[in-house]
Amino acid sequence: MSELSLRGDIVHARKIFDEMGVRDSVSWNVMIRCYLENEMVENARELFDRMPERTSVSWNTMIMGYIKEGKTHMALKLFVAMPEKDVVSWTAIISGLCRAAQVDDAWRLFKQMPEANAVSWSSIVSGFQQNGFAIESLNVFREMLLVGIEPTPHLFTSVLSACADLAIVSVSEQAYCQLLKRGFHGNNHVGNSAISMFVKTGSFHNARRVFLDLDYPDRVTWNAMIVGFAQHGYGLEAIMIFHQMQKAQVLPDGISYMGVLQGCSHCGFVQEGREYFQSMKMDYGISPGPEHFSAMVDLYARAGKLKEAYEVIQELPFKPITIFWRTLLNGCRIWGNTELGVCAAEQILKLEPYNSSACLMVINIFALAGKWKEVAKMRAQIRDGEARKELGCSWIDIKGKNHLFTIGDEIHPEADQIYAVVELLAYDMEKYYLRLDRYSDGLEFGDQGTR
């Protein structure tokens, strides 16, 4: 029956099941699994309900079948009805709830578990991280270590991802020390996660150290280094790593080329960028995607070759999204090309007329072009709330404590002192206003006319 199920021949599998003289629990469970493997969850449930005697395997198979189909509510209902729950069923339902973004329910059930094993702990740690609760994920991980459960290499990928989300160097280094103690640093999956983590925290010396510790870095490893260094402005290093990758006879892919193009953009290597872009298709048969075209627009815009940037957008094999026009607009603002800038601004307004950050960019270019009626119209649109405001936030780690700030935040206990310092900094910035205005977004025409 299992073999027929793998072939998708569920009709013959059921025929064999029906013709069996004596069916034990194994036979029933195999047939239920056959239905579930072929996404026939209702048929599986019908058979499950007819079982004369259900084992824990029967219950767990059906619960995991519902989870796989995304029917978490049915899985939870079945789990509650299960007479004797084992660690497999507990772990399955917790993992399913996490996958369905019901982390609170998953955590509530986890705390009710009679006894959790390494897989159970791993499920809840990963679940918190994958749903954006990095701090909670690391707190559960620490609790796991305190009760004496040893983490696996797979779990460390989630832990390192949580550290990357927080972008706190000290926390990242502590997590890496934990995996060093267990000898997991040579594992490629763990190493790749560690490189991404250190790159996101800006700890490039640690990223290099992790990279050098890997015996056989794969393409994912090389890409993590190339893209990570390029995105943080280390363009030349990204290009050098790309060349080392080629010397190591590791074939680049689209991600590799995205990184090296971004590296060229940061370094101002226009000709080299063109050559890499052409090499993608000619040497490796890689069709450029939106991210590669976007990198080329950025390359030309940063270098002041605004006509070439515009031509790339005009010749795109797909309809350009806002980021292409915003990149061109930023280049026009930096290099003072108001004519092309106004053209880009008009395209942005067609695509995102109510995006406040886009509106601020448009206001600046209209002001440079002397289009004061348009400036007044856009400022009124922001003031009247027609433009959708994107809530900005920032954070800083001080002595191991993470301080989060949002726009207009007055909740912090030292808010008065903080805003007093900000006022002093703003006063000092006024002295350098003309220079800053050229390179910063929205300094002159921000909300309510502030700079």
Assess if residue 167 is contained within a domain: yes
306-340 burial code (b ≥16 CB/10 A, e <16): bebbbebbeeeeeebebebbbbbbbbbbebebbeb
The predicted pLDDT at position 434 comes to 42
Q: Is residue 162 assigned to a domain?
A: yes
Number of domains in the chain: 1
Q: Does the pLDDT of residue 123 top 90, yes or no?
A: yes
| Confidence tier at 397 by pLDDT (50, 70, 90) | low
DSSP-based three-state secondary structure for 422: helix
Looking at mean pLDDT, say which of 56-60, 86-90, 259-263, 381-385 comes out highest.
259-263
- The predicted structure's pLDDT at residue 419: 78
Q: Where does the pLDDT of residue 438 fall: very low under 50, low under 70, confident under 90, or very high at 90 and above?
A: very low
Task: State yes or no: pLDDT of 8 exceeds 80.
Answer: no
What's the mean pLDDT in 334-358? 83
- C-alpha closest to that of 301 among 313, 291, 289: 313
pLDDT average, residue stretch 172-200: 93
In terms of C-beta distances under 8 Å and separation of at least 24 residues, what long-range contacts does 281-289 make, across chains too?
284/251, 284/252, 284/253, 286/252, 286/253, 286/254, 286/257, 288/254, 288/257, 289/254
Residue 171 lies in a domain: yes
Least confident of 1-5, 80-84, 90-94, 183-187: 1-5
Residue 451 reports pLDDT greater than 50: no
Q: What is the pLDDT of residues 300-339, one digit of tens each?
A: 999 999 999 999 999 999 999 999 999 999 999 889 888 8
Q: How high does pLDDT run on average in the chain?
A: 86
Question: Is residue 333 in a domain?
Answer: no
Residue 151 is part of which domain span?
116-216
Domain presence at residue 407: no
Q: How far apart are the first and last CA of the chain?
A: 72
- Range name among 38-42, 289-293, 355-359 with the lowest pLDDT average: 355-359
Q: CB of 378 within 8 A of CB of 366? A: yes
| Residues in a beta bridge with 397 | 402
Comparing 172-186, 230-244, 273-287, 366-380, which segment has the lowest mean pLDDT?
Answer: 366-380
Exposed, middle or buried: residue 379 (CB in 10 Å: 0-12, 13-18, 19+)?
buried
Q: For residue 274, give the nearest of 256, 254, 299, 304 by alpha carbon.
A: 299
Residue 370: what pLDDT?
A: 80
Residue 411 pLDDT greater than 60, yes or no:
yes
Q: How far apart are CA 134 and CA 169, in angstroms?
A: 14
Of the pLDDT bands very low, low, confident and very high (cuts 50, 70, 90), residue 363 is confident
What's the pLDDT score for residue 20? 78
pLDDT average, residue stretch 97-112: 93
**Mind listing the pLDDT tens digit for each residue in 198-249?**
999 999 999 999 999 998 999 999 999 999 999 999 999 999 999 999 999 9
The amino acid sitting at 194 is A
Do the domain assignments include residue 170?
yes
Distance CA 151, CA 340 (A): 56
What is the reported pLDDT for 227?
96
What would the mean pLDDT of 270-294 be, rounded to a whole number? 96
What is the mean predicted confidence (pLDDT) over 259-280? 97
Tell me: pLDDT of 449 over 50: no
Q: How confident is the model at residue 375, as a pLDDT?
A: 77
> Is 373 part of any domain?
no
> Is 179 inside a domain boundary?
yes
Whether the predicted pLDDT of 413 surpasses 60: yes
Q: What is the pLDDT at residue 435?
A: 44
Predicted confidence band of residue 266 (pLDDT cuts 50, 70, 90):
very high
Spell out the residues 6+ positions from residue 115 whose beta carbon is closer than 8 angstroms to its own. Answer: 87
More confident of the two residues 47 and 381? 47
Please tell me the total number of residues recorded for the chain in this structure. 451
Sign of CA dihedral 165, 166, 168, 170: negative
